[in-house]
Structure 1
């Protein structure tokens, strides 16, 4: 464990319940659902026709027409969230020549995603079959996985290390840990980190429906995502972007920035079990939680809140509950455990970043958002999932769980400063 503290000083968000940080947070505390019938395409013939879409987002308000046409939606969402996070952190960029602001050469970007520009890919395939000449010359550069990170770097003019990793649904949490590593290694003073994804498309929904992964509660979208509930029938697909400004506590103090929380440490493990199902023993999740506590120098009793992966699938919610009990022992029943996915659905590459933002604001406000639609706890789901109503409680230590396809488990430990 490093003696140097790494902190979050800025937050930005575009989610199914809000187009900025504070509106998202207030909606989550109110238990507001952002799940609704799909508007991005005609989904009436599919088994699942609901999703967590970002509503009212206008990329033309952010970008000039040329940049808008040349960029994919997952990059556009990332740019919007990054601008808000940078403004929230009061981060200004200068140069090596001593001009006022942080040296842009010392600012990095870690912007992760899970499925790249799937919407652009599907559109280009249709164009290819209709008339190859209509495929954009910017098709490739708009949909490749590193593009949101690069687009954010271009938009903000930062020239430090820029990376993008794909860890399925663990991508957003890992961005924080990679940002922490870049700062502790001395490669950057500030890192703009988070996750983004926008893949509400016909092929994606057909594939996930055929897999049996999605809720089919089309007649009641707001009640479809039901983590830890006995009547859960699958997850709800969503989109969004959440971005954090990460820097050392010393650097933040020097420029008068206000920290939300410390990124104390974390861990990444693999189930080595199955391409989509979690190991029912929970061994990989347990290992990630234990290693994250150890890496951050945190005792289990010092964690007050877990922002759960909580997808609303039968196997995930059961396995995660077992893993929490295994790691935290008797203290597991003293923890507040909740899942924002009950309200926004699964934001895939952005899900873990949203959970980190939830922890930051829970620490700031002493409030924990609820798990809505939790009417009857499922079998073995016996923890305190903060059912249906937000709760006022002090949060000094928090953990984010994120588990992705392929068996990738990422856990971050976050602390008040």
Structure 2
């Protein structure tokens, strides 16, 4: 939907082919980092996205068993606000703005099965063939078109061995307890870190909901899905012995409301593009949640494509524009994928000397010390949050297209 909005605002005729039977709410909380906010503001959709958001001011890091405060990391506002929202609110804002454009159409119940990379065209499950000037494949980590684009006999996402529970609690359930009321009232992210596991939690929807993502070994054979559910008992067993404050939260969770999500990754791809077809989002760079950049990187893809596809002399130049998209995006997205995996290892350290050394660093954050949590590290934040995807796209055009037909008409 971000690609539809970006390209639609640039004046292109856009058709979105959506597999789902209807557009509805899905998922839980998501972080809207400054590098995404920058794009949303230019598209005129920022105010709608953040209307029901919370702007985090700090992050607390707590020990897993006692809840002891290990460190406090202020949110660096020099790059902009770090908003947290319900994923459905982000999607609704993008969808509403894009679908309102006269040159953007959205079709549900339209499952794409194959693509012709040169025509280009796609074939739907019902046999319908749809032609276009360019095809952008945003079909996720289980992408069908990625397998075709790379001529792979098998293309199966790689399980990381981890999974996540997702939980959302309403304000009414928490406000009678002073410990829990403080959690939902304060614009703060809280991490509980422990052996092989960690929890990230924060309020969303203007403090009306409390969102939690609980990451742990995948011992239950979780499904790679946004809608699979777990039993409450699975969660209680996985986090037995954790902070008593967490146990109070867990006791409030209604059964059958816990979402579970298998964390998978994918090997780096040789290419993201073929002919007039390009992969984007999780189809080419699935992100683990440990630095909270999955949504932001997909929106950066969209913004880059919107800029480059608006820099053409003619449709014949689309393959060249898509090659520039890969130049602009691939190394950055893959670097952030690597940071996420590194951060997972840091947050999930077993108790022992390395964990004690890490915790000593957490204690020094508020005095300017290094933050072992890459999400809160100033150097990493500068790399992730200070990036301007549209500016980078224009620079790629200027650096690679001297004398070529693709021109910077921006």
Short-chain TM bin: under 0.3
Structure-1-length-normalised TM-score: 0.27
**More strand per residue:** 2
Q: Which protein has greater RCO, CA pairs closer than 8 Å, 6+ apart?
A: 1
TM-score (norm 2): 0.27
